[in-house]
Amino acid sequence: MSAARVHEKTLTGKSLMDLGRHVARQGIVVYLLLFLLFHWIVDYERLEIKTLNRATPLSFEYLTKTAEAHESFDKKKLKEFFLYFKTVTHYRPDMADAVGMLGFCYYHLGDSQKAMEAYQKAIDLNPSFFWFHYNLGVIYFQKGRYEEAIKVLRRALKTDPLKTVEFILSSRIYLPLISKDKEKWAEAVTGQIEKTYQKCYGMLVLGYYYLGKPADLINVANYAVARRFADLEMFYYYMGLSAYQLKEYEKALYFLKECVRVNPVNAEAFRYLGLSLKSLGNQEVGDKMIKKAEILHDDQGSPVSFEKKIELGMF
């Protein structure tokens, strides 16, 4: 065998030995990295559990009772729940329910911008949950951002109430906030969702009114009236007002008469009833309606605005 060939084999054998040592060293390094990663994950999870346990309020009664009573929150007391949901979202940023509750707390602590950001993130995580859309729509509405409010509220109306209830019942975040009698609670909350769906239509009507879109307003309000939703007086009133603005005085008369039939002391409805009659040439009766409106306004004052009834829902 030639010297060249012996030298080639020797080099090849040496290379294999070096490669083996290198792989062994790399294997030890990988093993150490995996070992450290495993223990870091375990330690992180232990820290997470300990931190969440410390942050969890002893009771959620104040949060639920205050929301159910439609009362203002004590910001100092609410801060405890805020910190809890903040902690949960730190460790579990993909939990839509926790993100939504964080938005609820931000809103009642006075930070509506953070609340909107939280609700939008919650929608991105779970677009089929009614309350995320509704609450974001309420905040937009209260800020006078009616185009955005209408867009979000229309999406809220497309959600399935059953999926909303199922999500609540399967949530570890909502579980401490609901009644122990799940079946009874589910029945009650389904009714609450139905009522709130109807409020969406009220906000849509007002949104179109403020945007100066009477034709869109009438379409939405007609749908609500046909289904005998709550707040019929409001729907009839704004349909009458919109028809008057469109100079469709016969329609305005019909809607406004229906409005005062529901509420015989609605001063503004009587005023526009009078103006519609006068526009149709019935000056005498029109003047009487306007005079009646003035008397009612002096006696009754202004009715409670629908807008004051609009508020966020916890879920």
Residue ranges covered by each domain of the chain: 44-211, 214-314
**138: closest CA among 312, 315, 309?**
312
> How high is the pLDDT of residue 221?
97
Name the residue type at position 107. Y
CATH number of 44-211, picked from 2.60.40.10, 1.25.40.10, 3.20.10.10, 1.20.200.10: 1.25.40.10
Average pLDDT over residues 267-272: 96
**113: closest CA among 90, 84, 142?**
142
Average pLDDT over residues 257-275: 96
d(CA 68, CA 60): 12
d(CA 14, CA 20): 10
Instruction: Enumerate residues 6+ apart whose C-beta is below 8 A from 232.
Output: 224, 225, 258, 262
d(CA 82, CA 101): 8
> What would the pLDDT profile of 215-228 be if each residue is shown by its tens digit?
999 999 999 999 99
Average pLDDT over residues 95-103: 98
> What would the pLDDT profile of 139-163 be if each residue is shown by its tens digit?
999 999 999 999 999 999 999 999 9
The CATH architecture annotation of domain 214-314 reads: Alpha Horseshoe (1.25)
Residue 56 DSSP class: S
How long, in residues, is the chain?
315
Same topology between domain 44-211 and domain 214-314: yes
The proportion of the chain whose per-residue pLDDT surpasses 70, expressed as a percent, equals 81
Distance separating the N- and C-terminal Cα atoms of the chain: 87
Token pair, residue 251, equals 């329609």
d(CA 202, CA 221): 8
Residue 178 DSSP class: S
d(CA 137, CA 153): 5
CB 87 within 8 A of CB 165: no
pLDDT at 68 over 70: yes
Asked which of 33-42, 59-68, 165-174, 302-311 is least confident by mean pLDDT, the reply is 33-42
